[in-house]
Amino acid sequence: MSKSRAFIPLLAFLALAGLFYFVLMKMGKGEYNPRDIPTEFIGRPAPSIDLPNLLDENDRVKSSDYAGKVWLVNVWGTWCPECWKEHEYLMHLSRQGVPILGIDWRDEKADAIDFLKQKGNPFVEVGFDPNSDAAIDWGVYGAPETFLIDAEGIVREKHAGALYPQVWQEKFAKYFHAQKPTE
Amino acid sequence: MIPEIGHFALVLALVLALIQSFFPLVGAQKGIASWVAIAKPVARLQLVFTALSFAFLTWSFLQSDFSVLYVATNSNTSLPTLYKVSGVWGAHEGSLLFWALTLSVWTTAVTLFGRSIPPIMMARVLGILGLLSVGFLMFMLFTSNPFDRLMPPPMEGKDLNPLLQDPGLALHPPLLYMGYVGFAIPFAFAIAAMLGGRLDAAWARWSRPWTQVAWVSLTLGIALGSWWAYYELGWGGWWFWDPVENASFMPWLAGTALMHSLAVTEKRGAFKAWTVLLAIFAFSLSLLGMFLVRSGVLTSVHAFASDPARGMFILMFLVTVVGGSLALYAVRASKVRSYVRFDLVSKESALLLNNVILVVACAAVLLGTLYPLLLDALNLGKISVGPPYFNAVFIPLTAPLVVLMGIGAMARWKRDSLENLWPKVRVSLVASVVFGVLYPIVVMQRFDWLAAVGMVLAFWVLFTTLKATKDQARGRGLGGLSLSHWGMVFGHIGIAFFIVGITLTSVYSTEKDLRLEVGESYEMGGYAFTFNGSTHLQGPNYSGDRGEVVITQNGEQITVLHPEKRNYRSGMPMTEAGIDAGLTRDLFVALGEPLGTEGAWSLRLYHKPYVRWIWLGALIMSLGGLLSAADKRYRVRARRTVAEKSPVGATV
């Protein structure tokens, strides 16, 4: 074996380790969190949504219908495994009466309808957003992302990544205590 | 007091691990016999203290001592005893202790079974394993001490993640860890051989049985996890290409390549440098998996609480272990010359190609797992690489591997020819095409190309393996075959079963989501599913609903299933599917949502042909691994080496 070839695995590994170091440093400084990216929209009025309704071609999903309520926007797609994982918990929340507006992002219409039929529909309404119209307005990085909008129409919280009970308790639950008992 | 003793035992274990690595390694290099001699006793003593520490943590769990932070966050008084015990390794700190314990157990096993190994080699192997122990123990003591106190202690602990409250999952992590840590043994042998400057067949022979046992643990661990996902998540799926699943699959692929490569190195003295590299890869990928899961750089259901400080420690450990060993490899491997020649058509070539495919497949999984991280870190956007990528890359890669399995088993070492091979495989080839095409038509009663291809491959493996066995047994009978040959037979037939399972399940499964009123029936796959309503359910730490579904075929009752929907105290909803398992089909019922006030529910019904064969295949493969590891060849040669053993001074 030639001398230089024997060094290839080492060099490849060092490059990989360099990437990990870079990521960890960014995480350590708080510049990067794979689970959560701060959004500029927190504390600002929610961008308006006007999308075709996934389940009803003649209807449109509008954010103005939610004025005066505390509600969630959940960005999802059938192509995203994390969305599958959080789905059961979203069902649980919707049974508790939490209103969730879904944005089906960069997805195939038939797949999305199938998914909701098979696994249940936790959303009050689902806007279909194949061209990222709403997603760009909301500054969405990836799916799933969940936003909380208060009764004044201000974005209060955002979570990137699947929604689990712990995250719910830490960030979202407090906004609903005033309205209704969770659990 | 008990937690403090446990903590202290851990500190002593660290001191012993330092001694276990320093003196034997230096002693072996400098030829100091007394330093070499302490390797074994110190390694065993280290096990005693690590085990004590583990026992004390387990004790704290059983006593529900919530003044220990780790116990308070992972256990509570209403938890059944089994899950109190499995809670010990259910989260980050305790699972690290389990890693350290497993490593100690493996190390001690090497001191007990490796009597034939020359003392210098043994000292180096134990020294390297000691260094690994130092890494794990320091990681635990500096960043993740499981014995940290919580003052004042809470009255009651948190709930253990309900996903983990399942007998299958209580065993899944320990088996996986045994596999990961087990790959440290061939790794240590490979490094020791490089340190000694002698990359001959000996190290390969010594590490083969250990590699096989580690591989068996990993196989069983992965299969158990997949089986659990199937019945617990209620999606009817068995593999999701989740980053953490991939983290266990990559060492498995590298380990599979290593097992085959070790065989070539041991028997023919070929691929010496390559085998060393694979031994480094298999263990490095285990460590990499640990880094990915515990540093929080990837998002996954499996993720432990993330902490960049821990991530940094594992990264340093990773760089030391992997970087160090690859640097040693770069220096030493360039001097290794394989003088062994083999022809293009030979068992060696088949095995080399097998290795290349497995490594490429492994690299593809690594790329798919890290690609989102890379993009994300460079601010190029967040993406999710899912099953479409992996299926598109993996299936075309592995199909040729399966074809090769048949040829490899049949081909001769060193030199073979197509003229010689053709008559041997001719019958198998025709038979597998005929049976493979007929099976979907006759048995499944619906032809499908994908099913036919899968079945042809499965029959091909079966027939060629049987034929190779028949040829081997000529003149000495089946009883004359070595256990190691039987290992190959079971390993490969396990793969055939596995292929049948995935092919027929993915092609012929039917599923239906529907609303059923109480008393209403639905017919699917020749079975009638009748929903008899649901009742309220109260468990020790959850409440929920329990449905009843009666399944009949041609008017005869087959079974009654009770799917459950549980809400755990922690607020996590869980689905417990009702499954009627069978060799040729599973009937699977999961509760969806309650609908209306009349007791109607949405239900998910699955008819899954041959899904059991996926796990049955894994079991058969594992049996193969065990048979091979038990081959008496390792012991016979071992005894011969004892007789030839030279005094310590002479080998240095």
Return the pLDDT at B7.
Answer: 96
Average pLDDT over every residue of B480-486: 89
Residue B531 pLDDT greater than 50, yes or no: yes
Best CA proximity match to A121, nearest among B515, B228, B506? B515
What ipTM does this complex have? Answer: 0.83
Regarding pTM above 0.95, the answer is no
Chain A closest CA to B103's CA: distance in Å?
Answer: 24
Q: Hey, what amino acid is at B38? A: I
Contacts of A17 in chain B (CB under 8 A): 315, 318-319, 322-323
Task: Check if A82 contacts B (Cβ < 8 Å).
Answer: yes
Return the pLDDT at B338.
Answer: 65
Return the pLDDT at A40.
Answer: 63
Query: Looking at B75-89, B316-330, B336-350, which range is the least confident one?
Result: B336-350
Sequence-distant (6+) residues with CB within 8 A of B262 are B186, B204, B207, B208, B211, B275
Task: Check if A97 contacts B (Cβ < 8 Å).
Answer: no
Give residues 104 to 143 of A whose Cβ lies within 8 Å of B: 117-120, 141-143
Q: Contact, B66 vs B157, CB < 8 A?
A: yes
Best CA proximity match to B370, nearest among B497, B243, B251? B243
Residues written for chain A: 183
Which of A8, A23, A121, A163 is best to mutate for the B interface (most B CBs within 10 A)?
A23
Model pLDDT for residues A145-159, shown as the tens digit of each residue = 899 998 888 888 888
Task: Check if A178 contacts B (Cβ < 8 Å).
Answer: no
Model pLDDT for residues B395-433, shown as the tens digit of each residue = 888 899 999 998 888 888 888 888 888 888 899 999 999
Instruction: Give the rounded percent of residues in chain B with a pLDDT score beyond 90.
Output: 51
pLDDT band, very low/low/confident/very high, at B651 (cuts 50, 70, 90): very low
Q: Rounded to whole angstroms, how far apart are CA atoms B520 and B601?
A: 11
Residue B501 pLDDT greater than 70, yes or no: yes
Contact yes or no for A10 and B327 at CB 8 A: yes
Contact yes or no for B299 and A161 at CB 8 A: yes
Residue B259 pLDDT greater than 90, yes or no: yes
Task: Check if B304 contacts A (Cβ < 8 Å).
Answer: no
Q: Rounded to whole angstroms, how far apart are CA atoms A75 and A88?
A: 15
Strand-pair category, A71-76 with A100-105: parallel
Return the pLDDT at B472.
Answer: 87
Return the pLDDT at A152.
Answer: 84
Chain B closest CA to A28's CA: distance in Å?
Answer: 6
Model pLDDT for residues B86-105, shown as the tens digit of each residue = 889 888 899 999 999 999 99
Give residues 583 to 642 of B whose Cβ lies within 8 Å of A: 592-593, 602, 604
Give residues 32 to 51 of A whose Cβ lies within 8 Å of B: 32, 34-35, 37
Query: Looking at A3-7, B40-44, B206-210, B497-501, which range is the least confident one?
Result: A3-7
Contacts of A142 in chain B (CB under 8 A): 381-384
Task: Check if A165 contacts B (Cβ < 8 Å).
Answer: yes
DSSP state of B505: H
**B346 class by beta-carbon count within 10 Å (0-12 exposed, 13-18 middle, 19+ buried):** buried
Contact yes or no for B336 and A120 at CB 8 A: no
Average pLDDT, chain B: 87
**Residue holding tokens 């020749």?**
B526
Nearest CB neighbour to A141, from listed B377, B381, B571? B381
Return the pLDDT at B188.
Answer: 97
Give residues 314 to 343 of B whose Cβ lies within 8 Å of A: 315, 318-319, 322-323, 326-327, 329-331, 333-334, 336
Task: Check if A79 contacts B (Cβ < 8 Å).
Answer: yes
Tokens of residue A36, six digits: 């959560």
Nearest CB neighbour to A35, from listed B299, B318, B331? B299
Model pLDDT for residues B1-21, shown as the tens digit of each residue = 889 999 999 999 999 999 999
- Phi, psi angle pair for A148, to nearest 5°: -115, 130
Highest mean pLDDT among A140-154, B269-283, B327-341, B532-546: B269-283
Return the pLDDT at A31.
Answer: 63
Query: Looking at A107-111, B69-73, B110-114, B144-148, which range is the least confident one?
Result: A107-111
Average pLDDT over every residue of B53-70: 93
**Residue holding tokens 């034939």?**
B116
Residue of A nearest to B318 (CA): A17
Nearest CB neighbour to B326, from listed A13, A26, A169? A13
Task: Check if A10 contacts B (Cβ < 8 Å).
Answer: yes
Q: Hey, what amino acid is at B511? A: E
Query: Looking at A157-171, B39-53, B396-410, which range is the least confident one?
Result: A157-171
Chain B closest CA to A111's CA: distance in Å?
Answer: 14
Contact yes or no for A120 and B374 at CB 8 A: no
- Phi, psi angle pair for B461, to nearest 5°: -60, -45
Instruction: Give the rounded percent of residues in chain B with a pLDDT score beyond 70.
Output: 92
Return the pLDDT at B101.
Answer: 97
Return the pLDDT at B572.
Answer: 62
Return the pLDDT at A168.
Answer: 87
Return the pLDDT at B241.
Answer: 84
Model pLDDT for residues B538-596, shown as the tens digit of each residue = 887 788 889 999 999 988 999 999 998 887 766 566 778 889 988 999 998 988 878 87
Residue B642 pLDDT greater than 90, yes or no: no
Best CA proximity match to A134, nearest among A32, A17, A6, A46? A46
